[in-house]
Amino acid sequence: MSQEMPRGLKRWEVVRKRGKGKFILQNGLLVFALPAFIISIFILTPGYYAITPAVILRQACSWALVGLLFGWALWTGMEKWYQRFIAKRDGAQET
């Protein structure tokens, strides 16, 4: 009995072909870190301290690092899910 691949994993097959680096940059930096940086600088920061170039640089570096880690964690989680499904499916086909 062949298992049907979940729709999310079918999309993941397409996404993973584009590469790990591109995924991390798009999802970690652009989708997550950039909006978080903008919110932290323009909405949260003015209530606590003045916006200076040093504050902007510190926030940008912090959010970039967090974004890269977030993108890497997303990639790793999706890849583990995909690899477990493939291993389970291939194991079921051999029996």
Specify if 5 maps to a domain: no
Specify if 43 maps to a domain: yes
Specify if 28 maps to a domain: yes
pLDDT of residue 1: 42
pLDDT of residue 3: 75
Range of the domain at 47: 18-94
Domain count, the chain: 1
d(CA 26, CA 21): 9
pLDDT of residue 92: 72
pLDDT of residue 46: 76
Specify if 58 maps to a domain: yes
Specify if 80 maps to a domain: yes
Specify if 23 maps to a domain: yes
Specify if 72 maps to a domain: yes
First to last CA, the chain: 10
pLDDT (tens digit, 9 = 90+) per residue, 7-29? 999 999 999 999 999 999 999 99
Length of the chain equals 95
pLDDT (tens digit, 9 = 90+) per residue, 36-89? 999 988 887 777 778 889 989 999 999 999 999 999 999 999 999 999 999 998
Specify if 90 maps to a domain: yes
